[in-house]
Chains A and B, each alone.
Chain A
Amino acid sequence: MAAVQIALKDLKQRVRDRSAFLWGIVAPLGLAAIFSMLFGPIADFDVSFAVADLDGGTVASAFVDQLEDLEADGTITLEVADDAASAEDLVEDGSVDAAFVIPVGFTDAVSAGATVEVGVIGNVDQAIGTQVARSVAAGFAGEINTVGAAACTVLTARDESCLGSPSLGSLAATALAEPAFTESPVTLAGSPAASKELSSETFYSAAMAILFLFLTVQFGVLGLLEERQNGTMLRLLAAPISARSIVAGKALTSFVLGLVSMTVLVVGTTLLLGAEWGNSLGVAVMVLAGVIAAMGIMFVVAAFARTPEQASNLQSIIAFVLAMLGGSFFPIAQVGGLVAQLSLLTPHAWFLRGLGDLAAGGGVGAVFPAALYVALFGIVTGGLAQLRIGRVLQA
């Protein structure tokens, strides 16, 4: 009962100074929105190209046809330039991200089996668009090589010499001009629901939520040090309540702040950012486990810090290091090696994994291993902190 009274008093103070509101809701929601916009899905990525076909041959036309197909799909926006200078102008004035220049003699060179080049002019401010243009050009070059190899196989089957054969170029050029040859037999289909990949909105919502959860819970447990600093700890210790109920009161404050913050973030990011957290019960289990983990670390900090300021700084450092290592900012596990292994020690990594399991359509059972690890992290760290927390409860 005393613990509840202490928690109610603390919550009143936190509502009054708005600190928990800012750290627990405003900051993570804002950052999740910003990150989602910055690193949102490629479908929203608008890329525009220009093409100047100076050759006009069959192979060059095949390349232009491929670009027009991409435009028809809505993947790119395409403008046709009369010459290289016009194409460059379009890039310079920012009308397009990059331009392709197909040089005179391109088709003849392919027919002759000679080395050919598609020029790419990129806008310095559109690095990603230019990179995409280079990839498209490289892809077409790959097709030329493939078709050339196929033509060589045909010639070899006819007992004709492949190397330097005049027939090789014409066969390849004919094949490239035939749409059936240039359509890729294999396509990559996006299927996020069937994979464990979170959408960017969901990923950044979850990543920011777990990061700031570790900062939000400090407003409860750090109250132990604040009570010491402003002298009220003496009053609490002189009251007819047990010392453990003081700790329990602070833990309860952290728990409520963490839970409310996470709940608001889950609902808020779903409604405002379109995040898809998955099975509600599974999310609740993960959130609960996350709050326990954050409280555990916070108790460790409170047990070792001398002042609230020192504890707050320490907690911020720990929260950000764990978040970075746990992949809240970028998929650090892809780095591999020791870093990837260290990442798996953090509750953040497991929290995001758990949500990935939910994104794959899993229910509560699917998140159980991840939730168990996250909760155990908090129980173990918090339990160890209890061995030393007594020093905060001394007069």
Chain B
Amino acid sequence: MSDNNLVLEASGLHKSFKDLHAVKGVSFHIATGETYGLLGPNGAGKTTTISMVTGLLERDGGEVVVDGREISTTSTEAKRAIGYVPQDIAIYPDLTARENLSFFGRLYGMSAKPLRGRVDEVLDIIGLSDRADDRSEEFSGGMKRRLNIGIGLLHGPRLLMLDEPTVGVDPQSRNAILESVERLSVEGMAVLYTTHYMEEAERLCDRVGIIDEGEIKAEGTRAELVSMVGQRDKVRLSATGHLDAAVEAVRAIPGVHDASTREDGIDLLVDGADRALPSILQAVAAAETSVSSVAVDEPNLEAVFLHLTGKALRD
């Protein structure tokens, strides 16, 4: 990837709050049209990192360059390239959706006519066109979240930063938000997305930085990260009969790396469960063992996080 494509370059970011070293040398970059996820549990340093990158928080060390301009708390021009969606809903409840959008549009220097058109466009994107002139205090939580995102999108930023935008959102609104973010990425916007939901990071992000205790523990595409813990699927058979004999039988099948009994069945570690499963079931049946259910766990970012930090994402 050429440097010309980079919308954000953050390097060596440090931030301490009294005795707490909240961010320790975080570095990452995002290119045009790329969605980069910062995945980590609450308190990992995601919001502190995004606050420094947005120019909201003074950093103790490191550098942030957005669209070719270094950013700090006093930058104004560099901030034009950024659309920021804070974690908590940040809208004016006594203003309508249209008034909220228009106000922030004017703060970003948009002139009246283009602003009117863009407001209509964004209202359409976030699905609030029919409620445009209602006060936002009358909106549901999901609608407020969508308006919250719409304000970040309004001025057409090169980099959109979303700080856990789906926290406390119902499944339907959550899906609508994720679809909107997917569309933005397709349209060429660079997106920085922080979350502690593994599924969101897997679905949206081209690359993911796994962050914990203020450090990026690993970074890469989903496949690259998963390969760190191996490509093996975990297969759990609920079975009764001659379990030891069945274990001996399945160990001989190519692709099966490990097999062990447990009280109500057998656990296996397999390369490509979809291919190996028919042979496994055949071998188990031949060992006079009957299987009542099969569960396959593919390796995911949760497993990667567990592998890297020794704890679950929601700990």
Contact = CB atoms under 8 A, between A and B. Distances in A.
Contacts of A236: 107
Given A234-B56, A240-B79, A395-B56, A9 B74 contact: no
A12 B100 CA distance: 12
B108 A240 contact: yes
Contact of B94 (A2, A17, A235, A395): A17
Contacts of B77: 240
Pairs of residues from A and B, 8 with the lowest C-beta to C-beta distance, nearest first: A231-B90, A395-B56, A238-B84, A240-B79, A240-B76, A239-B107, A240-B80, A231-B88
Interface of B: 51, 54-57, 73-74, 76-77, 79-80, 82, 84, 86, 88-95, 99, 103-104, 106-109, 151
Contacts of A237: 55-56, 73
Contact of A235 (B74, B80, B84): B84
A225 B92 CA distance: 14
A243 B54 CA distance: 14
B163 to A, nearest CB: 9
A390 to B, nearest CB: 11
A280 interface: no
13 contacts: A2-B107, A5-B106, A13-B92, A231-B88, A232-B92, A235-B86, A235-B104, A237-B56, A238-B56, A239-B104, A241-B107, A395-B51, A395-B57
B153 to A, nearest CB: 13
Nearest to A234: B86
Contacts of B51: 395
Contacts of A16: 94
Given A9-B95, A17-B94, A239 B108 contact: yes
A17 B84 CA distance: 28
A238 B95 contact: no
A230 B90 contact: yes
A146 interface: no
B86 A231 contact: yes
Interface in A214-248: 230-232, 234-243
Interface string A1-29: 01001100100110011000000000000
Contacts of B73: 237, 243
A96 B179 CA distance: 86
Interface residues of A, number: 22
Most buried by B among A231, A234, A243: A234
Interface in A43-61: none
A95 to B, nearest CB: 58
A220 to B, nearest CB: 15
A235 B95 contact: no
A392 to B, nearest CB: 14
Contacts of B82: 238
A224 to B, nearest CB: 14
A187 to B, nearest CB: 61
A6 B104 CA distance: 10
Nearest to B163: A234
A9 B92 contact: yes
A129 to B, nearest CB: 53
Contacts of B76: 240-242
A246 B45 CA distance: 28
Contacts of A238: 54-56, 79, 82, 84, 86
A240 B90 contact: no
Contacts of B74: 242-243
A236 B55 CA distance: 11
B190 to A, nearest CB: 16
Contacts of B109: 240
Contacts of A239: 79, 104, 107-108
Given A5-B103, A240-B108, A232 B56 contact: no
A9 B84 contact: no
Interface string A129-142: 00000000000000
